[in-house]
Each structure stands twice: as C-alpha cells, then as structure tokens.
Amino acid sequence: MKVVIFGLGYVGFTAACCIASQGHQVIGIDVSRSKVEAINKGEAPIVEPQVSDMLQDGLAKGLIEARTQIGDALEEADLGIVCVGTPSAADGSHNMGYVADVSRQIAQALQQAPRSGRPLSVAYRSTFRPGTVEELVWPIFTSSLQETASSQVSVVYNPEFLREGSAVQDYFEPPKIVIGTRNGEPDPAMLALNEDIKAPVFTVGYREAEITKFVDNTWHAVKVAFANEVGRTCLSLGISARQVHEIFVSDTKLNISPYYTRPGGAFGGSCLPKDVRALQHIGADVGANLHLVDSLLRSNEAHKHRLFEYAMAGLEPGAKVLMVGLAFKAGTDDLRESPNVDLARKLLGAGIALDIFDPAVNADMLVGANLGYTYSQLPQINQLLVDQSTAESKGYARVLVNNATIDMLDIPEPALIRDLGSIT
C-alpha cells in the first residue's frame, strides 16, 4: 500500500517506521523542515528502541520519504493517517487547531486532484473528544468537497496504544485494535494495514472509538493513584506495600479482571461501603490523605441519583412501576446498603405507585442489621412486595430491572423494561 502520514512526532514517526518495515510505501508530512531533512538523512527525531534501524532500512529500500507539503502525495494513496498533536488548553480541553488545519489541507488536495476510484481512507490517531469526527472533521471535508465528499474520502478513527520505550513492540502486538467508522463497518484500507497484526479488533462507531483512549488512560491514572494511596497508607502503618501488592495482583478472578469494571448499577451491600469508609478513616488517622478513596462514596451517590433520573424519565406521578430485584444481589435477602433500597425510597418520594418483585426477600424473616437497615429506609416493605403472578399480570407503565431476578419473570411487553443493572 501507499500510506501518507500527517505529523511525524512520536506516534506518526513510529508508525511510519513500522508500516515501512511491513513493505508499504510511506510518505511522511510534517511542518518542521529540520525534522523532515533529518529523517531523509536517516536521523530519527525521537529516541526509541529499534526506530533508527527501521528508518535507515526503510530509506535504503526506498519505502520512506518525508516532506513538508502534501503536493502529489495523495495521488494513488491507499491510506492517510493523521497523527498531529492535540495539546491541552488552559481549561483542559484539546486544542484542535492542528487537526482542523491538516483536515483542510487533505480536503484541498483532494479537491485539486479528485480520486476516480475508491475513496481515500483517512484514519485519525490524534486523541480528541467524542463527536469530533462528526462535528469538526467531516464538516471540513464537506465544506471543501461538498456533494463529492463521500466519494472522495472515508474518515476513520483509530486510536493508538503506544508506550514510550516499547512503541515498536506495542505497534505490532497491541492489546487491541479499535476502528471507528461512520456505520461501524470495516474499512478495507485498515483491514489491509492490520492484516499481519494479531489482536482483538473492535469495529465500532466514531464516538465509541473516540472515547477509548480517554477511558484507558484515565483508568491507568486511577490505578496509579490508588496504588500510591495504598502505598502511603502502608508506609504510615509500617506495612510492606510490596507484599500487599503481590497479594492483590495474584487475584485475577476479582481484583485484576473485568468483573467490577462493567458500567451498571451503583455499588452497595454489607462490605464495599463499610470497608471504603474504614479505609477513609484509617487514611485520615495516619495522615495519608486518600483523595481518590475519599471520592468513591460521593461518586457512588451521584451514580445512584443518575439511575433514579433514568428510571423516572417520562413517568408521571402516580404511574405504576414494577421494580425487579430489591436485594443487593439476586437470590439473596441482604438489603444492607443496597442501592435498590435507596432507589425504591426515591421512587416512592416522587409519587410512584411502586411494586417490588424479589422472591428471595421475606420481610418477616429479616433479622439483625439487615432488619434494622431495611425498616429504617423502607418501612413499608411488606406492602411493596408482590408475587410472580402479580408482577407478570398487573400491567405497569415501566419495569425497572436491578439484577438477574428478571430471569424469573415473563414480562409480556419487553419494551417497558429499563435495565438499571447494565448500562449499554
């Protein structure tokens, strides 16, 4: 293939070397004349294992060329890859000037030399907020190319996952490949580019692809901050943080797994809230300042309220609603700090005519702390619980599903169901 890369910074230059090493012809475009001249001389603009040798090999084979202007680079090109910077503005937003500018240049080049065959695939690897392709990039192309835009260019969003120090290995052995397209269908040029790379491939819409890098990097930041908060707590208590970490990461069933990272209901139950509060207290007591841990319960309360808003949307006061699942987990009667109890209380406060189906919960059998918590939060629980026959036949304006208890019911109108336990 003939591949044109816009922006020869860390990501763009690494991609250029890797793609050329696969036998593809690569033309790199960058506004820096000194950088372009250095690359054409075989001098890598970054310090990264393997790239210097790959650059010199690519130049020797005539597969790598750097330029400051697009010129005729797009003629007969199969793929364009945009890797220009999106630096932070003062308010934390991205400066989109470089993305907008290079998009205009590509559009103008296509306007001056229209394609007669398949549209040019232009893959953006620059990190930018969800909606940018639809609200900034594509309007730039349609402004220049007007009604011919769809026949001239196919926009793709393709986030990169390169780490400094292992960028070449990460290029050829990525944790995943994410391809965002207009209709969520595969792009032929991207399929050809990645055909020799073995990794899970996710072909999705633009916005799902655009948010991927933010989710990944924020999660990495959360992990680092969490580990350091645990570390300084251990330091203050004379505990071996190394051994605690060794124990923690050995658990791949729960701790290092996708189990608790699926968007859905708020956390609750007898353990998580209690133990988070306890670690907050320990951290405060030893002066560890656990800002991340301190935010967890506030974030959880915010999530509970958002789910309440989602449950209520479009309902009038007095509407008949069935809640499926009251306990924290299906098949149990543990109601202690169950977010579902909080939701039931809020729905009643909003004037909803609420019924609850949860056959594992028998109000007369509750004991101890479970009994005390339930009646302090939901004293009318006896009047709210209904049997399976009532749940299936009464007729409700909406059915709110909190957990797998729904598997016990046959709801005649699935369209009425709003699943609060799984955000899709």
Q: Which residues are catalytic?
A: 271
Q: Would you tell me how many other CB atoms lie within 10 Å of the CB of residue 245?
A: 14
Residue 241 tokens read as 């943080």
CA distances from 90 to 93, 100, 130, 185, 210 (A): 7, 19, 19, 37, 21
Beta strands in 273-365, from DSSP E residues, in sequence order: 320-324, 353-357
d(CA 329, CA 350): 25
Task: From 402, 330, 341, 406, select the one nearest 371 (Cα to Cα).
Answer: 341
Contact 352, 317 (CB under 8 A): yes
What whole-number distance in Å separates Cα of residue 188 and Cα of residue 184?
13
Q: Which of 104, 127, 105, 125 is nearest to 193 (CA)?
A: 125
Q: 140 to each of 73, 211, 405, how far by Cα in Å? A: 20, 21, 50
Contact 231, 239 (CB under 8 A): no
Q: Can you tell me whether residue 65 is helix, strand or coil?
A: strand
Q: Is 252 exposed, middle or buried (0-12, 13-18, 19+ CB in 10 A)?
A: exposed
CA distance 75 to 87: 30
Give the integer Cα–Cα distance in Å for 110 and 113: 5
Contact in structure between 402 and 420 (CB atoms under 8 Å): yes
What backbone torsions phi and psi does residue 179 show, to the nearest 5 degrees? -120, 115
As a whole number of angstroms, the distance between CA 204 and CA 290 comes to 37
Q: What angle do CA 256, 258, 264 make, to 5 degrees?
A: 135
